[in-house]
Amino acid sequence: MFTDTSISERELAMNTSWLVETHGDPLGVIQLLIKDAWERFELDTMMLSMNGSTKPRLINDPEQLYKVNPFKPLMTKNAAKYLPQVLEDIPDSRVGVVLRPCEMRALVEKTKREALPMDRVLTICFDCLGTYPLEDYQWRAERKGSPERLAWESLHFARQGGIAAYRYRSACQACRTPIGQGADVNIGVIGLPVRQKILVNTRDSETANTLGREESISEEDQSLIDQRDYIIARLLQRGSNTRQRLAENLESILPRDLDALLHLFERCGECRECFDNCPLCAADYPARDELGLYAREDVMQWMISCAGCGMCEQACPNHLPLVTIFSQIRQQLIESIDPASQIH
């Protein structure tokens, strides 16, 4: 990630956030914004999801960005899993990466474990409007006439916080936060009239200036920001309620603590699909001894670091509700370390 300056929270809000006019074409404006970031930060390549692809791809020509739709409601792989290999394969290149919030959380955790050269990476994170299971996505895209129309449906309801969450993957229903944050460049659409304006926020004032920051938030625009904050608060509460409801519904069959989870993994034998598809396990695979027992500390660290992307559950051949299991045990572990902590 590019330079991180030390300034106050108030200065950060004043100097690094602004609203961008979309003139009825939010996706087109976002595509131009990403292209502009490519050019201003002198990137050599960019990793992102493209229309028609089910996993992140590298593109080397910024003119291809017209195919990019970060709001495509499909996620079959967590892009954070692939970035370390990309950086190793092209060691002298400056790389941009477009991420969902759960991918950004995974990348933050990966940087704690791997010595990634983030000084040559530009991270761009978008508000996530939710993703469908693959089969549902394909059916809905066909019904809508194209993947582009399905993606636009999600964006169309951004001001209300998206469409009915029950349609989405369980990880999206129980998301800790769908807000783009923590990246060098963050793009906000939730709670905003996207046909008029979207929100841009950067990590620091230097990044904002390089990106060509527009005027700071005006008093008139502050009402839009307040509306966005209200919708975000509702989404966070909805996610918390969903996690609680799922846990209560499955209480009689779910592992209730870390030890029970370890026993569950051991009964899975040599499967390990959840590990193999987790963006974090690629860097920190839980150890297993000759008796088939997993190292308790390794699994504990995995739970605490969980980004909540749901790739584990999506890959599980036994269709276990891993998102709910991991969410509950993660909460227990966080509170055992700091009883005052409440992870919502």
Give residue-wise pLDDT tens across range 50-77: 665 667 889 999 999 988 889 989 999 9
The predicted structure's pLDDT at residue 175: 93
Residue 85 shares a structural domain with residue 159: yes
CA–CA separation, 119 vs 46, rounded Å? Answer: 15
Last residue of a domain, one of 221, 245, 269: 245
Residue 252 backbone dihedrals phi, psi, to 5 degrees: -75, -20
Q: Among residues 58, 120, 62, 70, which one has the least CA distance to residue 99?
A: 70
Residues 312-341 have a mean pLDDT of 86
The predicted structure's pLDDT at residue 238: 92
Please check the confidence at residue 299 and state whether its pLDDT lies above 70: yes
Residue 200 is inside which H or E element, if any?
strand 197-202
The reply to whether 4 falls in a domain is: no
The reply to whether 21 falls in a domain is: yes
The predicted structure's pLDDT at residue 136: 92
Residue 130 shares a structural domain with residue 153: yes
Query: What single DSSP character describes residue 204?
Result: S
Please check the confidence at residue 204 and state whether its pLDDT lies above 70: yes
Q: List the structure tokens of 138.
A: 């394909």
Residue 145 shares a structural domain with residue 256: no
How many domains is the chain built from?
Answer: 2
Last residue of a domain, one of 245, 275, 291: 245
The predicted structure's pLDDT at residue 256: 84
The predicted structure's pLDDT at residue 99: 96
Name all contacts of 288-294 with Cβ < 8 Å and 24+ positions apart: 292/266, 293/262, 293/266, 294/262, 294/265, 294/266
What mean pLDDT value characterizes the chain? 87
CA–CA separation, 224 vs 146, rounded Å? Answer: 31
Residues 208-233 have a mean pLDDT of 86
Residues 260-289 have a mean pLDDT of 87
CB contact burial 231-261 (16+ within 10 A = b; e otherwise): bbeebbeebeebbeebbeeeeeebbeebeeb
Domain that holds residue 184: 9-245
Q: Could you tell me the pTM of the whole model?
A: 0.90
Residue 144 shares a structural domain with residue 281: no
The reply to whether 344 falls in a domain is: no
Please check the confidence at residue 9 and state whether its pLDDT lies above 80: no
For the chain, how are helix, strand and coil distributed in percent, rounded to 5?
50, 10, 40
The predicted structure's pLDDT at residue 6: 36
Residue 38 shares a structural domain with residue 107: yes
Residue 241 shares a structural domain with residue 256: no
**Residue 21 forms beta bridges with which residues?**
197
Residue 201 shares a structural domain with residue 276: no
Please check the confidence at residue 307 and state whether its pLDDT lies above 90: yes
Residues 240-261 have a mean pLDDT of 86
The CA distances from residue 210 to 206, 309, 342, in Å, are 6, 31, 37
The reply to whether 343 falls in a domain is: no
Please check the confidence at residue 342 and state whether its pLDDT lies above 70: no
**pLDDT interval class at 165 (50, 70, 90):** confident
Residue 229 shares a structural domain with residue 268: no
Please check the confidence at residue 117 and state whether its pLDDT lies above 60: yes
The CA distances from residue 144 to 26, 136, 138, in Å, are 20, 12, 10
**pLDDT interval class at 336 (50, 70, 90):** confident
The reply to whether 287 falls in a domain is: yes
Please check the confidence at residue 1 and state whether its pLDDT lies above 90: no
The reply to whether 78 falls in a domain is: yes
Residue 156 shares a structural domain with residue 271: no
The predicted structure's pLDDT at residue 159: 93
The reply to whether 145 falls in a domain is: yes
Residue 266 shares a structural domain with residue 117: no
Last residue of a domain, one of 202, 220, 245: 245
Residue 181 shares a structural domain with residue 267: no
The reply to whether 103 falls in a domain is: yes
The predicted structure's pLDDT at residue 11: 40
Query: What single DSSP character describes residue 82?
Result: T
The predicted structure's pLDDT at residue 284: 75
Residue 186 shares a structural domain with residue 306: no
Instruction: Say which range, 130-134, 169-173, 280-284, has the weakest mean pLDDT.
Output: 280-284
**pLDDT interval class at 271 (50, 70, 90):** confident
Vertex 292: Cα angle to 286 and 298 (nearest 5): 20
**pLDDT interval class at 344 (50, 70, 90):** very low
